[in-house]
Amino acid sequence: MKMKLFPVAAMSLVLWSCGGSGETEKAHEEEAVVETVAEDQGEEVNDLADFKFHTMIANLPSPLETFHLISDVSVGMDGVGLTPTAKSKELSTMSSKAYGYGMYMTDMGFMAYEHQNQKTIEYYQTCRELAQALGAGDVFDQTISANFEENTSSEEKFVKMMDEAFNAMDQYMVDNERFVNATEIFVGSWVETQIIATNIVMDEPLNDSNRPIYNGIYEQKMHASNLMNVLSEIETELNDDVVNHVEDIMMFYAGFASVESISKEDLVVLDGKLKSLKAALMA
């Protein structure tokens, strides 16, 4: 699947609007956000530096893996409902903003793969606003804003940019001992990715064409278990409802004996469980 070059005039307008004389003020605001969040998460969370945080995260899939699967399969957007950008205005807590950032980054990537230029720009703007709210606007600008127009000319460049953006945000959060926010961003991107994959094949039985996506769903049997291992280290800092939903999804994935055992009914149930988790993340 080939990417289309985004209209230069439209992209230039978006990138121009991101600059201006308010950069110094923005930097002070972001520093204040970082300090406030670090205090809120407390000393107990800082002890996570002694755990194998990076090792556990490394064992979990990036949304980019699912994008690769989708790019090799002829898929359409019918039935795939992404998160409306307007919902971002309702995210009032730092946790919901972190979850939302992960979701919207995933949606931005999916829209780019689907050549939905205007939608991609809308998700880009939403992601940038959430990054600023998380005190990481500079990280976003350095990895995405500065390269957005140039790197959307090809699928390869876009994937590299997205990968660098995810890694840079994760590193920024870890460097500032914001392990909870780092994990929340990942959970948001993970659940959105699984909803997209599930909805793509919801009405299609397993066949040679869509087998890569079915395989990706089946592999969550392992990844969901690894995700629970990560959450177990910080579950006292998370909403119980979120942890319970993830555990429920992990147990459901565990019931798949093989990729061939996944039925249409299973996908319907899985979709419901994933969307229930998503609702809890955005509450």
CB neighbour list of residue 88: distance below 8 Å, 6 or more residues apart:
100, 104, 126, 129, 130
* Assigned domain for 12 exists: no
Asked whether the beta carbons of 181 and 173 are under 8 A apart, the reply is: yes
Q: Report if residue 115 sits inside a domain.
A: yes
Distance of CA 254 to CAs 3, 171, 201, Å?
Answer: 36, 31, 20
In a domain, 140, yes or no: yes
Specify the length of the chain in residues: 283
Residue 5 within any structural domain of the chain: no
Cα–Cα distance between 17 and 37 in angstroms, integer?
28
What is the structure's pLDDT at 214?
A: 93
Report the alpha-carbon distance of residue 116 to residue 236 in Å, rounded: 40
Residue 75 pLDDT class (50, 70, 90 cuts): low
Q: Which residue type, as a one-letter code, is found at position 34?
A: V
pLDDT at position 212 is: 87
How confident is the prediction for the chain on average, in pLDDT? 78
Q: Residue 24 has what pLDDT?
A: 47
Residue 4 is assigned to a structural domain of this protein = no
Name the least confident of 4-13, 35-44, 191-200. Answer: 4-13
Mean predicted confidence (pLDDT) in 63-80: 66
| 209 occurs within a structural domain | yes
Per-residue exposure over 30-63, b if at least 16 CB sit within 10 Å of its own CB, e if not? beebbeebbeebeeebeebeeeebeebbeebbbb
Give the whole-angstrom CA distance, residue 174 versus residue 24. 24
Domain total for the chain? 1
Mean pLDDT, residues 198-227: 90
Residue 162 has pLDDT above 60, yes or no: yes
267 lies in a domain?
yes
Q: What is the mean pLDDT of residues 168-191?
A: 87
pTM: 0.80
| Dist CA 133 CA 93 (whole Å) | 10
- Asked whether residue 210 carries a pLDDT value surpassing 80, the answer given is yes
pLDDT tens sequence across 87-122:
999 999 999 999 999 999 999 888 887 778 889 889
Range of the domain at 230: 23-281
Q: Is residue 16 part of a domain?
A: no
